[in-house]
Amino acid sequence: MHTKHFPGRSELSFIATQAMVERGLEPEFPIRALHDVQAMTHAGDDQDPRVVDLTALAWCSIDNDDSRDLDQLTVAEPLPDGQTKIYVAVADVDVLVPKGSALDAHAQHNTASVYTSTRVFPMLPERLCTDLTSLNPHVDRLAVVVEMCINTDAQITHHTLYRAKVRNQAKLAYDAVSDWLEGEGALPEAAAIVPGMAEQLHVQDSVAQMLRTRRRAQGALEFETLQAHAVFEGERVVALRQQVQNRARQLIEEFMIAANTCTAHFLAEHGHASLRRVVRSPERWQRIVALAATYDEHLPADPDSAALEKFLAKRHRADPLRFPDLSLVIVKLMGSGEYVVEHPKSEAIGHFGLSVRDYTHSTAPNRRYPDLVTQRMLKSLLMQKPAPYNTAELEALALHCTRQEDAARKVERRMRKSEAALMLTGYIGHVFDAVVTGKTPSGTWVRVFTPPVEGMLTSYTHDHDVGEFLRVKLIHTNVEQGFIDFATVR
């Protein structure tokens, strides 16, 4: 008897590889780069007396449950005057990935790690990004440290950067730490065995929440978009899991934003150009104004992130079920971020969504190439060496990194669609509750609530409005193309 074959996890891995190639990304490492890694015998070291020994501090990492490429550590130190000193340590990747090497050439081509549920395409070989340059627990590693003093008004009153040797005392995960902070779980064992780590996490959380409150008051935007990832049992997708924002993710997000801002300031203060991450004021602001008007809300004629944040917060309270769809529309109207070169005396473009004027990417050099470029600029300054890049090189890198990052995100979105299609392959004919999320000349789009997937409405009897609730029947899926088709149910 012939049994119909449904694609599985291995087919998705193949599709992901093909998607990488189609977007101009390299899914495999060149032989020369792999040979360079094989020749490495130990993690980077430097006997320079200017490298500060901070291995005794109560450093911890907080990341996803399955993360092995640990780029940053944090620690807090309450000061007698009521301020808190926050340290952010960023892995020194440059020490083993010098500019111009085969490893550097591959990293520069892809510019970022690409994450899919079936396969990760790391920017650097695993032995580097998950071992020799990763800030793994209980081993000494070189790092660039951003030291910040933050007062009770959540203002950064002082910052400095320097090279250091650090040691991760506790490898922690977002969800477990957040559950503990919210009083819904026990202190993770990796933290419980380190004296003072519980107090550390409370102090870090308190400062992070102050920073978050201040940024939101200044207009930082809070979005909620659906980006569910597949959960597998063998070859089968058994669930689509939505990443939820929580206290621990906010903790790391706030400290990384602060560190990236201080890094941009530090380079500018010392007369260096930098590769900045910017989101310009929305050119399509009037469309955002018109969208708000459909909710009987008035936004000012000129771009105003604080007014937009108040509108978003109000809509989240009023209709949390459909808020992800509104978030997605606003994100698209704002436009994507980009990399630009900014000089010390030039006017900063800023990051509209984060409501910060000076912002660079510096805290994930194992995963993002612009961060590695910034790290080299910082190290040349700290080691009193010539800048590794001239203005022309930085300009070319800004354009290239913007283009390749866009390609990487398209691969990830493409694979989420294929994962969702695979999840629903066995549910043809099933009926779901859904909401209309968009209308284009090519069709109407709906989002199913459980599981959280979006598809096209290919058969309908009348024109449906965005936000309208429907009952829909699944009529077709195509895993390779990531297509999911529904029809309305009377």
Q: If you search the block for the tokens 């990236």, which residue do you land on?
A: 260
- Domain-embedded: residue 418: no
SS3 115: strand
**Highest-confidence range of 81-85, 220-224, 415-419, by mean pLDDT?**
81-85
Q: How many CB atoms lie within 10 A of CB 64?
A: 12
Q: What is the mean pLDDT of residues 372-400?
A: 96
**What pairs with residue 84 in β-bridges?**
78, 150
The answer to the question of residue 92 being in a domain is yes
The pLDDT score that the predictor gives to residue 7 is 66
28 and 80: one domain? yes
| Six-digit token string for 44 | 């980077």
User: What is the Cα–Cα distance from 372 to 364, expressed in whole angstroms?
Assistant: 8
Lowest mean pLDDT among 145-159, 242-256, 277-291, 456-470: 456-470
Lowest model confidence (mean pLDDT) among 112-116, 135-139, 221-225, 406-410: 221-225
Per-residue pLDDT at 490 exceeds 90: no
Higher pLDDT, 283 or 190: 190
Q: Where are the alpha helices (DSSP H) in 218-359?
A: 247-269, 285-293, 305-318, 323-334
* Judgement on whether residues 69 and 160 belong to the same structural domain of the protein: yes
> For residue 221, is it within any domain?
yes
Phi and psi at residue 85, to the nearest 5°: -90, 125
**Is 353 within the bounds of a domain?**
yes
334 vs 190, more confident: 190
Tell me: do 196 and 330 sit in the same domain. no
Confidence of residue 462 (pLDDT cuts 50, 70, 90): low
Does residue 77 belong to any structural domain of this protein? yes
> Using N-to-C axis directions, what is the helix angle for 369-382 and 102-110, rounded to 10°?
130
* Judgement on whether residues 269 and 378 belong to the same structural domain of the protein: yes
225 in the same domain as 373: yes
- Determine contact, residues 137/130, Cβ cutoff 8 Å: no
Q: Is 105 within a domain?
A: yes
Identify the CATH number of the domain in which residue 472 sits: 2.40.50.140
Residues 261, 397: one domain? yes
* Sheet containing strand 140-150, strands side by side: 52-53, 156-167, 140-150, 84-91, 72-78, 60-63, 170-173
**DSSP bridge partners of 167:** 140
Asked whether the CA dihedral 136, 139, 145, 150 is positive or negative, the reply is positive
Query: 26 and 112: one domain?
Result: yes
pLDDT at 306: 85
For residue 6, name the pLDDT band (cuts at 50, 70, 90).
Answer: low
Q: Is the dihedral of CA 244, 305, 209, 165 positive or negative?
A: positive
**DSSP, res 398:** H
Residue pLDDT, tens place only, 127-154: 999 999 999 999 999 999 999 999 999 9
Of 49-53, 123-127, 187-191, 420-424, minimum mean pLDDT range: 420-424
This prediction has a pTM of 0.90
pLDDT of residue 280: 80
The pLDDT tens digits of the residues spanning 182-200 come to 999 999 999 999 999 999 9
Please give the C-alpha separations between residue 386 and each of 272, 380, 381, 489, in angstroms, as whole numbers: 11, 6, 8, 67
Alpha-carbon dihedral sign for residues 342, 347, 348, 352: negative
The predicted structure's pLDDT at residue 445: 86
Let me know whether 101 and 226 are in one domain: yes
What is the extent of the structural domain holding 306? 285-334
Mean pLDDT, the chain, rounded, equals 90
How many Å apart are CA 159 and CA 278, to the nearest integer? 22
pLDDT at 4 over 50: no
354, 376, 409: which is the final residue of a domain?
Answer: 409
State whether 326 and 350 are in the same domain: no
Please tell me whether residues 330 and 349 are part of one structural domain: no
Q: How far apart are CA 447 and CA 450, in angstroms?
A: 9
Among the listed residues 484, 444, 479, the one whose alpha carbon sits nearest the alpha carbon of residue 18: 479
How many independent structural domains does the chain possess?
Answer: 3
Has residue 62 been placed in a domain? yes
Task: Please indicate, yes or no, whether residues 17 and 76 belong to a single structural domain of this protein.
Answer: yes
Task: Say whether both 229 and 106 belong to one domain.
Answer: yes
- Measured CA to CA, the distance from residue 110 to residue 122 in angstroms comes to 9
Greater model confidence, 257 or 350: 257
Q: Residue 434's beta-bridge partner residues? A: 448, 470
Q: Say if CB 327 and CB 243 are below 8 A apart.
A: no
Residue 414 is assigned to a structural domain of this protein: no
Residue 2 has pLDDT above 50, yes or no: no
pLDDT in tens, 161-171: 999 999 999 99
For residue 226, the model assigns a pLDDT of: 67
